[in-house]
A = this chain, B = another copy of it.
Amino acid sequence: MTSHVLHLTAIEALPEIYAGDKLSSLLAEAVQRSDLRVQDGDVFIIAQKIVSKAEGRYVDLDAIEPSDEARRLAELTGKEARFVECILRESSAVLRAVPDRLIVRHRNGHVMANAGVDHSNVPASGKGERVLLLPLDPDASADRLRLELEQLFDARLGVIISDSFGRPWRQGVVNVAIGVSGIHALQDKRNFPDREGRPLRVTQIALADAAAAAAGLLMGEADEGRPVVHLSGLHALASGTSARDLLRPLEEDLFQ
């Protein structure tokens, strides 16, 4: 990190996103309507929800038959059984289930509430209620969006797909990175000794999570007006990274 100034700008006037939309093109058009200049090293932080919408990750609840386990957890949590079934199909483990809260490990490895399955802001189809799942592979979505945006802007970019997570001991949600492409997800701190010659113990910062959290300061939620934020000044381009870098290995999990 050599930058001393960061600028974050919410992209205005993105249209409502529908299944099959080419998100990168819609985003580039919105940027072209603004004053924003996109340069090498810039990062786009994109709310998971519009990526999922573009990918058509809807599930009709009418088509869902809850399992016994889903019914049991629905009873326990007070959530709707078909909704819980969707959550279970997205999850590799249930960590906690209590009234109003269902904390799972998503198949993609992220520990989160409701496996990211979203009931709100999902336009109802004619047929009945729908929910929206996370992108099938958020890192792959980030890779694809990055490559498309790099072509459209003729610049080397980073892309983060973000979602808002609760935390076990803290109130409120913060945005974290569930998909990362083109920039460091984790960044090693300079590993030289401190002024007294002691080696530093803490050596990695969750760069993509911090960038996602920063973008969250500008993203709305209720009206979905600003699901994309442009970040300049970070200087953290990297290849071969992914949001999987941010997952603590299961064997180091003290709080399963």
Q: Which residues of A contact B (CB under 8 A)?
A: 1, 3-10, 12, 96, 98, 101, 103, 105, 110-111, 119-124, 164, 167-176, 186-187, 189-192, 194-196, 198, 200-202, 204-207, 209-211, 213-214, 216-218, 220-223, 226, 234, 245-248, 253-255
**A4, B206: Cβ atoms under 8 Å?**
no
A106 CB, nearest partner CB in chain B, Å: 11
Is the CB–CB distance between B169 and A205 below 8 Å?
A: no
> How many angstroms between the C-alpha atoms of A12 and B205 in the bound complex?
21
Residues of B within 8 A of A6 (CB): 6-9, 214, 217-218
Within 8 Å by CB of A218, from B1, B170, B202, lies: B1
A-B contact pairs, 30 of them (CB 8 A): A5-B10, A6-B6, A6-B8, A8-B8, A96-B254, A96-B255, A105-B169, A111-B168, A119-B198, A119-B201, A121-B194, A121-B195, A121-B196, A124-B196, A167-B206, A168-B168, A168-B254, A169-B248, A171-B206, A171-B245, A171-B248, A172-B205, A172-B209, A172-B246, A174-B206, A175-B210, A189-B220, A202-B221, A207-B217, A214-B217
Q: Is the CB of B221 within 8 A of A189?
A: yes
Asked if B12 and A254 make an inter-chain contact with CB atoms under 8 angstroms apart, the answer reads no
With contacts A170-B206, A221-B200, A248-B168 taken as known, whether A254 is within 8 angstroms of B98 at the C-beta atoms is: yes
- Note all chain B residues with C-beta closer than 8 A to A211: 217
CB-defined contacts of A245 to chain B, threshold 8 Å: 171
A247–B169 alpha-carbon span in the complex (Å): 6
Find A122's partner among B192, B196, B223, B254 (CB 8 Å cutoff).
B196
Bound-state CA distance A201–B10 (Å) is: 24
- Enumerate chain B residues within 8 angstroms of A167, measured Cβ to Cβ: 167, 206, 248
A186 touches B171 (CB 8 A): yes
